[in-house]
Every structure is written in C-alpha cells, then in structure tokens.
Amino acid sequence: MATLTIVPTPVGNLEDITLRALTVLKSCDVILAEDTRTTGVLLKHYGITTPMLSHHKFNEHKTVENLVKRLQGGESMALVSDAGTPCISDPGFLLVRQCVAEGVTVECLPGATAMVPALVVSGLPSDRFHFEGFLPVKKGRQTRLKQLAVLPVTVVLYESPYRVLKTLTQLAEFFGAERQASASREISKHFEETVRGSLSELVDHFTAHEPRGEFVLVIAGTPE
C-alpha cells in the first residue's frame, strides 16, 4: 500500500525547503495542492513535473473518499498547502483522518511553518505556548478572546493584513493595553518585519503604517 506524505513548503523564500521534500515531490505519483497555481511556481523553480490535483477547503469533503481509494490502490501522494505545513490552519486534516481510519500509511516531513520563527523572534517566553491559529471571524470571537486572555502561557495567532488592526485593537481590549506582544509579517521574505511592544503600541504602529502581508501575532500570557 502506498503512502500519503505531508510535505511542508516554503512560507516565503523558495529555498526554505528540504532535500527530502524535493525528493518526495519528484517521486510521488501525484501532488495534492491547495492551489495548483501557487504550487506550480515552486515546482517550476525546481524543475518538478509531477502531476497535481486540487485539494482545498472547498472540495476536500467530496474528494477524500476517492483519494483514499486511490492510495489503497497503490498510488503514492504528497499533500502540500500554499505555504507551510498542511493541516496547520490549512486543509488536510480530513484526508489524514480518513487515511488513518482506513489503515493507509501517513507520514509528515519536518519543515517550514510561520508559527515557530515568529514565536522565537518575539522575545516572549517560548517554553510553553498556546497556538490558536485564526480567531473566529464573527460567532464566538469575543468568547474566545476572553478565554485566551487568562491563559498563563504565550498565545500565538494567525491573521490577515485586512483584519490585523481590528484584532490588535480587540486584543488590547481583552488582554489589556499594556500586555507585551509582537507582530511578525512576511516571514522569510525580502520585507520580513517584526514589531514588538505593548498591544497599544502595536495598534498605534499599524494605524500609522498600513499592514501588508500575512501576520503572526504573539502575545504574552497573563502573569500567574
């Protein structure tokens, strides 16, 4: 029986990919890609011609059963997202869960993720932390913010440039304006930047400077 291999891809610089990941992408029968256009740029850069299939949050409920059958039939597949490690705030969990249930071998390569670099460079405690990913956009958002505000460990969030100022403002409201935090954007890209300070200082900064790029927000835990 073949294997489903979870392959992390660069979050910025195309050189942030492992030799093992390139070997898997070249040798597998098919690559399951969140966006074939985005993955196509990476494959072209490394001269990889393996065929791709779309596998994203809008179709994964419908495609999982057929993909598992193909794996059981002997095909080897690599699952990638647009950037970073699949299944971490990206599609992939449903397929992995079904593969495990059906006895299909699943392996995940170590590799790129935006969360770890942002946490490490934040200067905030990294021995214990809570990874939240994206907050709910509407329903349950305030409830979740209240729950996160009392955690005694560093909290890590993902956010888009379109909502980051709103999120920072709400974090200042629920966590306290003086709570220390950092905002990292464009990780591993040419314009990579990390801004550190209190939540109120981050609000002021991104009010004066238009947010650009995908963000990782790291917030200090409440004092125990």
**Residues in a beta bridge with 107:** 5
| 109-139 as b/e: b if 16+ CB within 10 A | bebbbbbbbbbebbebeeeebeebeebeeee
Residues 12 and 99 in one domain: yes
Distance CA 201, CA 181 (A): 9
Residues 83 and 150 in one domain: no
| Residue 132 is assigned to a structural domain of this protein | yes
**For residue 58, with 0-12 CB atoms within 10 Å meaning exposed, 13-18 middle and 19 or more buried, which class applies?**
exposed
With vertex at residue 204, the alpha carbon angle to CA 198 and CA 205, rounded to the nearest 5 degrees, is 90
Answer whether 214's CB lies under 8 Å from 188's CB. no
Report the pLDDT value the prediction gives residue 61, as an integer from 0 to 100: 83
Residues 171 and 100 in one domain: no
Q: Kindly tell me the sign of the dihedral angle through the C-alpha atoms of 81, 87, 97, 111.
A: positive
Residues 166 and 90 in one domain: no
Report the pLDDT value the prediction gives residue 1, as an integer from 0 to 100: 58
Domain of residue 34, CATH code: 3.40.1010.10
What pTM did the predictor assign?
A: 0.90
Distance CA 123, CA 183 (A): 11
Instruction: Report the residue count for the chain.
Output: 224
Residues 44 and 122 in one domain: no
| Residue 164 is assigned to a structural domain of this protein | yes
Residues 92 and 75 in one domain: yes
Which residues are within 8 A (CB) of 92 and not within 5 positions of it... i.e. 6 or more apart? 6, 55, 60, 79, 81, 86
Phi-psi region of 195 (alpha: psi -120 to 50; beta: other; left: phi over 0): beta
- Over its length of 224 residues, how does the chain's per-residue pLDDT go in tens digits? 589 999 999 998 999 999 999 999 999 999 999 999 999 999 999 999 999 999 987 887 888 999 999 999 999 999 999 999 999 888 899 999 999 999 999 999 998 899 999 999 999 999 999 999 999 988 999 999 999 999 999 999 999 999 999 999 999 999 999 999 999 999 999 899 999 999 999 999 999 999 999 999 999 999 87
Number of domains making up the chain: 2
List the alpha helices (DSSP H) in 73-214.
93-102, 115-121, 141-149, 164-175, 199-208
Residues 154 and 185 in one domain: yes
SS3 129: strand
Residues 82 and 148 in one domain: no
| Residue 224 is assigned to a structural domain of this protein | no
Residues 141 and 81 in one domain: no
Domain that holds residue 57: 3-108
Domain of residue 177, CATH code: 3.30.950.10
| Residue 82 is assigned to a structural domain of this protein | yes
Residues 167 and 89 in one domain: no
Answer whether 195's CB lies under 8 Å from 208's CB. no
- Residue 50 gets which letter from DSSP? -
Domain boundary among 78, 108, 138: 108
Answer whether 221's CB lies under 8 Å from 150's CB. no
Residues 132 and 76 in one domain: no
Residues 198 and 213 in one domain: yes
Distance CA 188, CA 40 (A): 19
The two tokens of residue 204 are: 């002021």
